[in-house]
Amino acid sequence: AQKVTQAQTEISVVEKEDVTLDCVYETRDTTYYLFWYKQPPSGELVFLIRRNSFDEQNEISGRYSWNFQKSTSSFNFTITASQVVDSAVYFCALHYNQGGKLIFGQGTELSVKP
Amino acid sequence: GAVVSQHPSWVICKSGTSVKIECRSLDFQATTMFWYRQFPKQSLMLMATSNEGSKATYEQGVEKDKFLINHASLTLSTLTVTSAHPEDSSFYICSARVGSGTRLPGANVLTFGAGSRLTVL
């Protein structure tokens, strides 16, 4: 079965703290993609990153970094020096097989307080 | 970049009426679009896959007669909620995949519309 689990429902941090959002996935496919999306209060989904199953290299983009580990089926997302504007719901998602379907995790609501 | 436009962004209707939501790919062609539904504080659940020129493929548990999908062109898919009831109130989001053959940034990445918030009274 294909499944994405984001165990952290809500996280609250103070500005400038680092925060890691966890994502664990399940799939039988050997070829798949993992995504992170940000959903601010406006509701629009903002694409953050896509990683394919053959590329385990960690990635850094500004204050954002991602740690992909196939051995533990995890694709965690870290925000360094968090800011109030980072407050949003973050979704991890799995794309497998053909067709473009995305399976979303339950989402983690991040609240960054000043 | 690839842009998906959704309209209307919000709609309020009376119970029993039908509501149509449009999803347009503005600068690319999308043979396949996807419709998701999101209830408050919940995740996005795929409702159906919309295929240009053919019937949509619905996920298990989604009533195809209630949620009519029409993908009449390479840039437009519509979702019609027929005989809407309060329990259909939700946030509906469409997405389209930018094909690998295009030079647009984000090829093969799903681009989402801004969503349509439906409230049925």
Per-residue pLDDT tens for A25-47? 999 888 899 999 999 998 989 98
Question: Which tokens belong to B56?
Answer: 């949509």
- The residue behind tokens 């965690």 is A76
What does the mean pLDDT of chain B come to? 89
Contact B32 A50 (CB under 8 A): no
Nearest residue of B to residue A38, measured between CA atoms: B112
Residue A57: pLDDT over 90: no
pLDDT digits (tens, 9 = 90+) for B69-94: 999 888 999 999 999 999 999 999 99
Residue A88: pLDDT over 80: yes
Residue B12 contacts residue B107 (beta carbons within 8 Å)? no
pLDDT, average across residues B17-21:
97
Nearest residue of B to residue A6, measured between CA atoms: B43
Residues B73, B79, B85, CA angle at the centre, nearest 5°? 165
B46 neighbourhood in chain A, CB within 8 Å: 101-103
At A2 the pLDDT is: 87
Nearest Cα residue to A93 out of A114, A77, A82: A77
The shortest C-alpha distance from B108 to chain A (Å) reads: 9
Specify whether the backbone of A107 is left (phi greater than 0), alpha (psi in -120 to 50) or beta. left
At A59 the pLDDT is: 86
At B30 the pLDDT is: 86
Question: Which tokens belong to B10?
Answer: 């919000």
Residue A51: pLDDT over 50: yes
At A112 the pLDDT is: 97
Nearest residue of A to residue B31, measured between CA atoms: A99
Residue B46 contacts residue B36 (beta carbons within 8 Å)? yes
At A99 the pLDDT is: 63
**Of residues B108, B110, B117, nearest to A102 (C-beta):** B110
* pLDDT-derived band at B54, boundaries 50, 70, 90: confident
pLDDT digits (tens, 9 = 90+) for B90-113: 999 999 876 544 444 444 567 899
**Angstrom distance (rounded) from CA A29 to CA B24:** 31
At B95 the pLDDT is: 92
At A100 the pLDDT is: 67
